[in-house]
């Protein structure tokens, strides 16, 4: 459970850092530039804590995919960035890919547990 909470904090920190990156105007605005550093440093710290209990492939895919989807939403709502059919399809594919990756790990763990039980 802690791993998932750390992963959620990592995602939110990454989205915050990305938003500040847009607002920093090439690091020329000091307050958002500081937000970039804090956001990304926090994100990687929380992500590393989450990896104590979560699989790297699942955690990283979830972090990157969810961060991408949330950042696209922020781009649309806060910065009036385009959101068209291709954007939606791309985000759906990213989210579905993360789902498949996480689901395949659960199936793999179930198969491994079943094999260990049979062998014992």
Instruction: Report pLDDT for 108.
Output: 58
Give the start-to-end residue ranges of the domains of the chain. 2-119
Residue 106, classed as helix, strand or coil, is helix
State residue 81 phi and psi, 5-degree precision.
-80, 150
The whole-angstrom separation of Cα 72 and Cα 28 is 23
Mean of pLDDT values over 33-48: 99
pLDDT of residue 110: 53
Q: How far is CA 54 from the centre of its chain?
A: 13
Could you tell me the pTM of the whole model? 0.84
What is the spatial distance between Cα 79 and Cα 32, in angstroms, rounded to a whole number?
15
Residue 114 has pLDDT above 60, yes or no: no
Ranges assigned E (strand) in the chain: none
pLDDT band at 24 (very low <50, low <70, confident <90, very high): very high
């Amino acid at each position: 459970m802690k791993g998932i909470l750390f992963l959620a904090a990592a995602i939110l920190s990454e989205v915050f850092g990305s938003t500040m990156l847009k607002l920093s105007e090439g690091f020329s605005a000091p307050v958002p530039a500081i937000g970039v550093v804090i956001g990304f440093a926090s994100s990687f710290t929380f992500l590393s804590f989450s990896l104590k209990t979560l699989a790297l492939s699942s955690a990283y895919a979830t972090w990157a995919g969810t961060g991408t989807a949330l950042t696209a939403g922020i781009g649309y709502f806060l910065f009036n960035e385009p959101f068209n059919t291709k954007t939606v399809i791309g985000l759906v594919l990213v989210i579905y890919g993360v789902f498949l990756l996480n689901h395949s790990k659960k199936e793999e763990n179930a198969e491994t547990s079943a094999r260990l039980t049979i062998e014992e």
